[in-house]
Amino acid sequence: MSATRPVVEVAPIVERQRASRYWLLMYAVCCLITFLDGFDFQILSFAATYIRKDFGFTGTQLGTLATVGLFGTMIGALIMGYLADRIGRRPTIVASVAGFGLFMLGFAYAETYAHLFALRFVSGLFLGGVLPLTWALAAEYAPKRFRVTAVSIIMVGYTLGGAAGGPVSNWLIPEYGWRSVFVVGGVCSLLTVLAVLPLVPESVKFLVLKARPGSDERVSRILRRLQPGLSIEPGTRFTTEAQEQAHSGKRFTPTQLFRGHLAAITPLLWLVYLLSSALIYFLVFWTPMINEQMGFSVSAAATIAALASVAGAVAQLCISRFVDRKGRASSCGCRSRPSSAC
């Protein structure tokens, strides 16, 4: 009987889809996730001046707090990526959002430098897992014709979340103290989990590749929610190109990233991402304090830093549409030259 089951490739269905209500809600929640990821990761830069005055920390101690968070995100990306390949993208995203929300909330109750250090590192583990998984899920459910734009919109959520730290800190900290912004970030992140559960689906490619009992039924339900009116015969078996390659013995291994023309491309991509991340780190974390030392008020310094992030978000959207129309390589020059000039 199994030989007579209809077989459907999932990729063409995704390519043909239009923006349904569920699809838009899914992307809205993904944007909210990255918004809170950006807010929770970058809010320390806006609260740093107040934390330094409260605890008497040196600039070196504050810089160490920021750096340990970066190391946490790096390690977290590896750990969460591994877990996502084992238990699924959706549960890993849920755990990551709940995790960084919980530990950001704990940051508000820290009493010593050791507490802040440990909480910053652990929250970084969860923060680091959210972005790559959300990007991957967004890319999977977006047709190729606007995939770069769809992923960029998710990234804009992160950028705007970081920018929101400026006005939020200006509003809350003078009245309620620096701990209030971490309470807001933590509570909002925990509440977002309630939106993730019903609105963010599991990766259909993951379900197809794992081929666990009930996977085909789950894939069918997800595709019908994404495309109301889609006709799928009962008992349909779903497949992907990756599954066919696995069955033919062509399994992916990490060494493939360093073979042939990828032997040069992979290290170069790592280098570009490393340098751009370092640039963003220095701009985001130190700009508010540098502006303050230049004579700006704390609120003005925060506003200037926030506006820089908003400008970056606008540039992301413009470049993404350019890439979708002209190709990826065409964007390298227009992205690198302004950064080098700065």
Sign of the CA dihedral 294, 276, 124, 139? Answer: positive
Closest to 300 measured CA to CA, from 164, 180, 170, 168: 170
Residue 162 banded pLDDT, cuts 50, 70, 90: confident
Q: Which CATH class is domain 10-205+265-334?
A: mainly alpha
Q: Report the alpha-carbon distance of residue 339 to residue 334 in Å, rounded.
A: 9
- pTM above threshold 0.85: no
Q: Report the alpha-carbon distance of residue 187 to residue 224 in Å, rounded.
A: 33
H runs (alpha helix) in the chain: 10-16, 21-55, 59-87, 89-107, 113-140, 147-176, 179-199, 204-210, 215-226, 241-247, 262-293, 298-326, 332-341
- Give 258's DSSP letter: G
Q: Report the alpha-carbon distance of residue 106 to residue 123 in Å, rounded.
A: 9
pLDDT digits (tens, 9 = 90+) for 124-160: 999 988 988 998 898 888 888 778 888 888 888 888 8
pLDDT digits (tens, 9 = 90+) for 166-196: 889 989 999 999 999 999 999 999 999 999 9
- For 108-131, b/e burial (b = at least 16 CB within 10 A) is bebeeeeebbbbbbbbbbbbbbbb
- Give 68's DSSP letter: H
* Predicted local distance difference test score (pLDDT) of residue 317: 64
What average pLDDT does this structure show over 236-249?
66
Does the pLDDT value for residue 39 go beyond 70? yes
Domain limits, the chain: 10-205+265-334
* Predicted local distance difference test score (pLDDT) of residue 100: 94
How would you class 254 by CB atoms within 10 Å of its CB: exposed for 0-12, middle for 13-18, buried for 19 or more?
A: exposed
Contacts of 211 (CB under 8 A, 6+ apart): 243
Dihedral through CA 284, CA 286, CA 287, CA 288, nearest 10?
100
Q: Hey, what are 214's tokens?
A: 């009930």
